[in-house]
Amino acid sequence: MMTRENRAKQFMPFDAMKGLSEALRDREERHSRVQKHGVSEEDQAQISETLCKVEKGSKVFISFFANFHDWEEEGIITQINRDYRFFRISRIGSNTEEKICFDDLYDIRVIG
């Protein structure tokens, strides 16, 4: 007599082409990559001004370039290092932190 576990295994989904879904996801990611675009002097001045004002605990909205993609995030600054020109942001609704270099910013706005 077949055990309940063995019986359930026969109904598990069968992947006839192992790795195909991962390969397609990888290809799609590579295909959607973009080049970093420039930031106008006016926007650079605004970013610099905002970076002088923000401090640890500030809630911000940022637009930036990372991993060959343009991103927009809302989060809280958990660390800021003006000497090495980067800050860490904790995404709202997530426990992940991301390190953002000042040079990769397109826009930064303080929220609230």
CATH of the domain at 47: 2.30.30.140
Q: Is residue 63 part of a domain?
A: yes
Measured CA to CA in angstroms, residue 25 lies from 21, 22, 30, 76, 101 at distances of 6, 5, 9, 30, 27
Q: Is residue 73 part of a domain?
A: yes
Q: Is residue 25 part of a domain?
A: no
Measured CA to CA in angstroms, residue 80 lies from 30, 36, 56, 62, 108 at distances of 31, 23, 6, 14, 14
Task: Report how many helices (DSSP H) and strands (DSSP E) the chain contains, helices first.
Answer: 3, 5
Residue 107 has pLDDT above 80, yes or no: yes
Q: Is residue 20 part of a domain?
A: no
Q: Is residue 10 part of a domain?
A: no
Residue 5's pLDDT band (cuts 50, 70, 90): confident
What does the pLDDT look like over 46-95, one tens digit per residue? 999 999 999 999 999 999 999 999 999 999 999 999 999 999 999 887 88
**Number of structural domains the chain divides into:** 1
List the domain range (segments joined by +) for residue 106. Answer: 41-110
The arithmetic mean of pLDDT across residues 95-107, rounded, is: 93
